[in-house]
């Protein structure tokens, strides 16, 4: 009799409906976790938007400013009375703005300080910048006089006199500093930082150094040897970024090398000559040594000079200071 009563009570208990808490627990435990759409992984990684898409977003904004916005705006500027060299400077300032403004937008989106992309404000025009200037002048001097050692270069006569020597020296110094800022930041600033977070520093450096050469392909008189030299120079400047941790050395080097080539020694720079150069210098001899229509950057000796600069810099700055913050 007691066993029957116990069985009946057990049956009644088993038929009691579950509580809301019990239902919620069962629902949570049995629900399958939501799976992201397959395309989500194409765009989003562990750090948010993938590096390649961030790079393309930056390049898209740069291209819009470089090819569309600034050419449209410049039509409304009163530039008709300006000399050609001042128009060239204004154009380079536009190029620089087209590289910097998209990076400011990306810095806001990524919640990073702008200095993380290679131009920390606290080191602006400091020791590294002037060291880069010194290295740039020394490198171009070594290259030009190495060509002269084969009897294929003559300094010639002085082309400028009086105050014009100083005026053009200052103007072209400022001009090539802007050029250095633009080209270094476009290819070794935001672009290098971003691609390096996705593919590693040196694969990104190689890719962007090839792009660096491609952007020079339209220069008048450019040759294959000259374009390869541009890529190798790009890799050397990536080394300076890798070791110093920022672009200030590279900007100084780039500006001084171009200034020394174009103004001081008055030779072709990537196939281009400038108005208001210091000397009436001349090249004569084999284009393999002189660089021909390119200038010293098209000489085979440029590879020897870059290799020497690479080795010396490696010894002088052995510690890696670049970090992807």
Residue 256's nearest CA partner among 115, 101, 143 is 143
What is d(CA 67, CA 144) in angstroms, rounded to the nearest whole number?
A: 35
- Kindly report the number of other CB atoms within 10 A of residue 250's CB atom: 30
Cβ contacts of residue 98 below 8 Å, gap of 6+? 62, 65, 66, 70
Q: Are 292 and 298 in contact (CB under 8 A)?
A: yes
What is d(CA 291, CA 284) in angstroms, rounded to the nearest whole number?
A: 10
Q: Are 118 and 112 in contact (CB under 8 A)?
A: no
What is d(CA 98, CA 57) in angstroms, rounded to the nearest whole number?
A: 13
Listing DSSP states for 135-188 in one string gives: HHHHHHHHHHHHHHHTT-EE---B---THHHHHHHHHHHHHHHHHHHHHHHHHH
pLDDT of 324? 77
- Kindly report the number of other CB atoms within 10 A of residue 17's CB atom: 6
pLDDT in tens, the chain (325 residues): 455 444 544 454 445 555 544 444 444 444 445 666 666 666 576 666 788 899 999 999 999 999 999 988 888 877 666 668 898 999 999 999 999 999 999 999 999 999 999 999 999 999 999 999 999 999 999 999 999 998 888 999 999 999 999 999 999 999 999 999 999 999 999 999 999 999 999 999 999 999 999 999 988 888 899 999 999 999 999 999 999 999 999 999 999 999 999 999 999 998 889 999 999 999 888 899 999 989 999 999 999 999 999 999 999 999 999 987 6
Cβ contacts of residue 226 below 8 Å, gap of 6+? 216, 270, 271, 291, 294, 295, 297, 298
């Amino acid at each position: 009799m007691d066993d029957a009563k116990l069985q009946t009570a057990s049956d009644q208990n088993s038929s009691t409906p579950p509580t809301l808490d019990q239902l919620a627990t069962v629902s949570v435990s049995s629900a399958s976790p939501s799976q992201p759409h397959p395309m989500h992984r194409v765009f989003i990684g562990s750090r948010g938007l993938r590096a390649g898409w961030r790079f393309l977003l930056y390049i898209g904004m740069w291209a819009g400013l470089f090819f569309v916005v600034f050419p449209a705006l410049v039509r409304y500027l009163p530039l008709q009375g300006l000399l050609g060299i001042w128009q060239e400077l204004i154009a380079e300032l536009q190029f620089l703005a087209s590289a910097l403004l998209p990076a400011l937008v990306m810095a806001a989106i990524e919640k990073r300080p702008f200095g993380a992309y290679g131009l920390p404000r606290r080191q602006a025009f400091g020791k590294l910048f002037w060291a880069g200037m010194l290295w740039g002048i020394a490198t171009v001097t070594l290259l030009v006089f190495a060509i002269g050692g084969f009897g294929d270069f003559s300094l010639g006569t002085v082309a400028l006199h009086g105050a014009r020597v100083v005026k053009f020296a200052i103007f072209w110094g400022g001009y090539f500093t802007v050029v250095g800022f633009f080209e270094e930041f476009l290819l070794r600033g935001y672009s290098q930082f971003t691609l390096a977070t996705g593919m590693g520093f040196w694969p990104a450096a190689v890719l962007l150094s090839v792009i660096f050469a491609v952007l020079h392909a339209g220069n008048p008189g450019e040759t294959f040897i000259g374009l390869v030299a541009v890529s190798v120079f790009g890799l050397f400047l990536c080394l300076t970024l890798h070791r110093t941790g920022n672009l200030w050395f590279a900007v100084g080097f780039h500006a001084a090398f171009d200034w020394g080539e174009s103004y001081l020694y008055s030779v072709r720079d990537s196939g281009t000559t400038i108005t208001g150069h210091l000397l009436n210098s001349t090249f004569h001899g084999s284009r393999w040594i002189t660089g021909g229509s390119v200038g010293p950057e098209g000489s085979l000796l440029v590879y020897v000079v870059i290799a020497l600069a690479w080795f010396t810099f490696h010894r002088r700055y052995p510690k890696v200071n670049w970090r992807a913050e």
